[in-house]
Chain A
Amino acid sequence: MPSIPDFITTIWPELTLIAVACILFLLGIARSPAVRKFIPIIALLTLAAIFFCSLQGTGGILFSRQFPSIRSADMAQFLKMISSGITILFVLLAWPSNKEATGNAALEVGMETGEFFALMLLSIAGLFLVFSANDIILLFLGIELASIPTYIMVSVSRPLPQSQEAGVKYFFLGAMSAAIMLFGFSYLYGTTGMILLNSNGDGASIADIIARSEWHLTGWQTMSLVMLLCGFAFKMAAVPLHFYVADVYQGAATPVTAFLSYVPKASGLVAIIKILSVFGGPEFILAPQILHLLYALAVLTMTVGNVLATVQPHNIKRVLAYSSVAHSGYLLTGVTTALYCQNLPGTRTMALAGILFYLVAYGIMNAGAFGVLQLLPTKARSSAAGTPTGGDSAETFDDIAGQAKHHPVLGLAMATCCFSLIGLPLTVGFFGKVFLIKPALDAHLYGLVVLIMINAAISAAYYLRIVAAMYLRPESQASTEAATMSFAQPKPIMVAVALSAIGTLALGIILPVTTIVAGEAAAAAKIDIQIHGIPAQTAMANP
């Protein structure tokens, strides 16, 4: 009989999120708006509680002998901590208020609020499951649980044809990628006969079986790995599986876009790291072709993302969509570096720590940029008296032209986030890039470093364009009309933007804080793969 407390200590965050999501579904059908008002508060408190409870990490590996499918190692615990922290920002961004203000018609304290936040929590629970999954079924379920709610969130977020189109497009392509992924998993199961990724010491797992063949993959296994990478790359929006990004991000309401740019991305990234460590062992002993594949994936992703973002004519959400592709590329360079450090365990740890730190940095700075778009008044929003027109968050360069004059604080926040996304000093983005580049240099991947640098320079062009639109451009007709309209800026979104901007600056300027976060990331950057007889790290097994 499974020991209940043992089980709960391992996956309490997932359980909490799912339980609260169920409660929110129920609250969502309450007739009284007064009750429905509590829904976002409950979601926020849940995430905050998880964040604070996971702040003092337990360390070591949490797993249950009776239920080996869940295994929460240092990296998973760290990722859960940062993700719960960052998703707090997304809850704040999606806070329901009058629809003129949020740019999110469905999120008026209307009928969909309960579902929306419940779906959000479910998606986060899926993300957490990806972090701690230890068998292929749970990994697949985690990824799908992280993704499927987002299909619905995209569709319900705005009653617009574009949103429906975005949701449907995202759903069909997502289903396709899930099918490819599942196909890959089936080969993996077929060739190993196992579903556990990592054993608890008895040698019965996929990692052990591959290790016993000294990490020589058979053709079927290689095919499986490639199909899995393909599926995960879709979640990360890595090139060449990025085609849905711009339409989906543009179609979704801005808070949903912000959510999409973090949660599915993190799930894909972690799944890639996880599956590579299973196929290559804790030292990533992989065929050179796989290494080249990852290298190409990373370089293509950041370059294509940046170039496409640069050529976007006027919609900022499309720019940010492609920029999120580019940031996936930066994250993948970290993975590439880790793969290339076959004889440099210290560098591999640094590379993984760099990825973790970049996830923190990206989550913080990116949320702020979307938040500012939501807060800026637009013509569409101000004229949307009663009838939701949809284009209610600032979306185009015309919308934000010259707005820094009227909204100096928002301008400053946008500038901070954009400079951080470029990677300028005094912001967290600078250290994010530094922590990615340093291990790459150590691993002698000079070509990769040069490509990252070129990409940083390309990205400066379009982020600067956003800043320039706010500060340097004269007001356009749209923004002038909008500026004269007064509207209440919702406090929660302002809090989210403030947290994001302050966090961006604090992690860039207050170096002790940066050091702490970087140190935590480095401590968590361990690959939790135990090969039977060769313990990769001392496990803190529960009784």
Chain B
Amino acid sequence: MDYLLVLLLLVPTAGAIVGAFLPGKIARTWALLVSLGTLAIALIGALTMEWHLPGTVNPQLPFPERPEWGIGVPSIGFTFSLGVDTISMALVLLTVGLTPLAILASFESIKDRAKEYYAWMLALLVAMLGVFVSRDLLLFYVFFELTLIPMFFIIGIWGGPERRFAAGKFFLFTFTGSVFTLAGALYLGLHYNTFDIASLVHYAQYGDNTPGHFIAAALTSTQRFWIFMAFLAGFSVKVPLFPVHTWLPLAHTEAPTAGSVILAGVLLKLGTYGLLRLAIPIGMMDANGVAFPAMCRFIGALCVIGVIYGALVAWVQQDIKKLVAYSSVSHLGFCVLGLVAMNAIGMQGSVLYMINHGISTGALFLVIGTIYDRYHTRDINKLSGLSKRMPIMAFFFVFFTMSSIGLPGTNGFVSEFLTILGAFTSKTLGIRFGVLAATGIVLGAVYMLHMAARVLFGPLKVPGHEDDSHTQHSALATGHSSHDDPGDLTIREISFLAPLAIAVIVLGVLPTPFLDSILDPVNSILHQPLRGAPVAATVPPPSSKSPLTPGLRYSEDPDSIAQQSGSSEYLRPGVIVVNPLLNGTAQGRALSPIASTPTSD
């Protein structure tokens, strides 16, 4: 159990190294097996994890309880330590879930240099998982940067016509942003003599009063501001927020299908995860709550601009993939808007949005990939009425389009609703942001339905083997009997779309268990009372002994922590609070988080 996370990283690492030496045909099967093995490990972890008890001990990254690994560079306080909480576990599950599907989707389309391709895919898997399971800030950064290299090659070697430019732009944009994150991380590590994320969050807010440690005060306002800016520099490019999003449409469009899936599905979430895990707790929250409300509004404004601008630009795209790419800009705007709402409901919605966007946009790219594999075009003007030829594909296309628009009953609805609700009820953002962002939903419906209508319905039109003026006629005339009719989705293609469709429905109908499990980590970021815990116990007063005393931090035994915090009824383990979406006490607290006192469950 303790070594599960190490195994989670080691298996794909070993898989990538071995895969690089296998012949091409075996390599793809091997990559699929390795990614499925990683999925299995993550599932074991998810099943053994106590989802109803997240944040019981330390809400940051309490699982599993691994002490320091003894690997690291002591002279700079760098340690190799891993751990997950419910938020990161959810993203780990998203990652390991999407990767086998992306690999499966590449089976036919990647023929050239196949073993290299699959090795890079597995390396990318390692790097992404590493980001989510790192408990050390420098380790986080290491993995964060490592995602660049495999993606650079995947886009640059197997991408579309503009691939080299796209790969370079992707790399340079994200690298330029993240070097400042490194500077900020090093500053923090130097200041508090540790890179442990949970400790850093605590020290940054309350100072390091641990006996035996060099006394270091909490960050001053100036320090906190620049730390926040340093983190923002790296993560906003990765998300991407409005002015620095220009790499994304290019990279998404040029990447091979699987690359787009991973890029949209997971890589963008590294940015939002970084904001949630590092930038906001360390750079935005101080002991008294939100430190820079104006900064929140600023980012909120960028998000709203991104939402509307992304939607409008998506509307006029002629390339389906570019359209979905711009829709990502728009959607990630919602996601970050939920984060900077700085209330529990917005953040919960935002975390859910990360998962949902990964599922629905990843799925859309997969569907578009199936079209592209058949007709080698993504031009809306050259495609029409595909539902006649590919009814199953059309079903999935419409289905995921609905999920992306946020039709009630699909996952997109819940997260979009929650993030906008978060913006409405936010003390920092307020109703204007909510209203403006909500227009993005309308626009989202417009451009997605516009695309779906043109591509799927109307007269059948596919690029034929003749010139353009005759295409329509010849295609209509020959119809299904045409010898170049590539047919509907194969079993393989259905098998990588169906799991995502199921996930869309499950998360759309029953999001509450998941929302509930991430409530405590979110609350702890916001200094809100944890479930079932008295207020005093969860917001440590600045002078109190920190539960992060070395040796005691991450103790498995909740009682010892409860005693540490001076509370006997710290929590009641074993209670799964399953609330309907807008019902129940947990939700009530989340809606008015700051003022309310917890009612008893």
Among B113, B171, B179, max chain A CB count under 10 A is at B179
Asked if B156 contacts A515 (CB within 8 A), the reply is: no
- In the complex, B372 has a CB within 8 A of chain A: no
User: Looking at the complex, which of B22-30, B145-153, B346-354, B463-471 is the stretch in contact with chain A?
Assistant: B145-153
A421-465 toward B: CB 8 Å interface, digit per residue (1/0)?
010111000110111011001100010011001101100110011
- In the complex, A65 has a CB within 8 A of chain B: no
Among A433, A437, A453, A473, max chain B CB count under 10 A is at A453
Asked if A511 contacts B78 (CB within 8 A), the reply is: yes
With contacts A424-B148, A456-B179, A472-B157 taken as known, whether A442 is within 8 angstroms of B190 at the C-beta atoms is yes
**In whole angstroms, what is the CA distance A433 to B148 when docked?**
18
- In the complex, A514 has a CB within 8 A of chain B: yes
User: Looking at the complex, which of B87-95, B161-169, B515-523, B577-585 is the stretch in contact with chain A?
Assistant: B161-169
- In the complex, B595 has a CB within 8 A of chain A: no
- In the complex, B187 has a CB within 8 A of chain A: yes
Complex interface: chain B residues within 8 A of A511 (CB): 71-73, 78, 80
**In whole angstroms, what is the CA distance A438 to B185 when docked?**
10
Main secondary structure of the interface of B (DSSP, over half): helix
Q: Which residue of A lies closest to B153 (CB)?
A: A471
Complex interface: chain B residues within 8 A of A419 (CB): 149
Main secondary structure of the interface of A (DSSP, over half): helix
- In the complex, B75 has a CB within 8 A of chain A: yes
Asked if A453 contacts B182 (CB within 8 A), the reply is: yes
Asked if B145 contacts A471 (CB within 8 A), the reply is: no
Q: How many of chain A's residues touch chain B, expressed as a range?
A: 35 or more
A297-309 toward B: CB 8 Å interface, digit per residue (1/0)?
0000000000000
The interface on chain B, measured as residues whose beta carbon lies within 8 A of the other chain's beta carbons, has a size of: 38
- In the complex, A345 has a CB within 8 A of chain B: no
Asked if B176 contacts A460 (CB within 8 A), the reply is: yes
Complex interface: chain B residues within 8 A of A518 (CB): 73, 75
Complex interface: chain B residues within 8 A of A426 (CB): 142, 146
Complex interface: chain B residues within 8 A of A471 (CB): 153, 156-157
Asked if B164 contacts A464 (CB within 8 A), the reply is: no
- In the complex, B107 has a CB within 8 A of chain A: no
Complex interface: chain B residues within 8 A of A457 (CB): 172, 175-176, 179
Q: Which residue of A lies closest to B189 (CB)?
A: A438
**In whole angstroms, what is the CA distance A369 to B508 when docked?**
52
**In whole angstroms, what is the CA distance A434 to B137 when docked?**
13
Asked if A431 contacts B168 (CB within 8 A), the reply is: no
Complex interface: chain B residues within 8 A of A441 (CB): 183, 186-187, 190
Asked if B145 contacts A425 (CB within 8 A), the reply is: yes
- In the complex, A152 has a CB within 8 A of chain B: no
Asked if B73 contacts A438 (CB within 8 A), the reply is: no
**In whole angstroms, what is the CA distance A209 to B248 when docked?**
62
Complex interface: chain B residues within 8 A of A438 (CB): 76, 186, 190
User: Least Cβ distance of B545 to chain A in Å?
Assistant: 28
User: Least Cβ distance of B490 to chain A in Å?
Assistant: 30
Asked if A460 contacts B175 (CB within 8 A), the reply is: yes
Question: Which of B171, B180, B182 is A460 in contact with, Cβ under 8 Å?
Answer: B171
- In the complex, A468 has a CB within 8 A of chain B: yes
Asked if B75 contacts A472 (CB within 8 A), the reply is: no
With contacts A441-B186, A464-B171, A472-B156 taken as known, whether A434 is within 8 angstroms of B76 at the C-beta atoms is yes
Complex interface: chain A residues within 8 A of B72 (CB): 511, 515
**In whole angstroms, what is the CA distance A380 to B73 when docked?**
46
Q: List 22 A-B contacts (CB under 8 A).
A: A422-B175, A424-B149, A425-B145, A426-B142, A426-B146, A434-B182, A437-B186, A441-B183, A441-B190, A453-B180, A453-B183, A456-B179, A457-B172, A457-B175, A461-B172, A464-B152, A468-B168, A471-B153, A471-B157, A511-B72, A511-B78, A512-B71
Q: Report which B residues bind A (CB closer than 8 A).
A: 71-76, 78, 80, 113, 116, 138, 141-143, 145-146, 148-149, 152-153, 156-157, 163-164, 167-168, 171-172, 175-176, 179-180, 182-183, 186-187, 190, 226
Q: Which 4 A-B pairs have the closest CB atoms?
A: A425-B142, A457-B176, A472-B156, A453-B179
Q: Report which A residues bind B (CB closer than 8 A).
A: 405, 408, 419, 422, 424-426, 430-431, 433-435, 437-438, 441-442, 446, 449-450, 453-454, 456-457, 460-461, 464-465, 467-468, 471-473, 511-512, 514-515, 518-519, 522
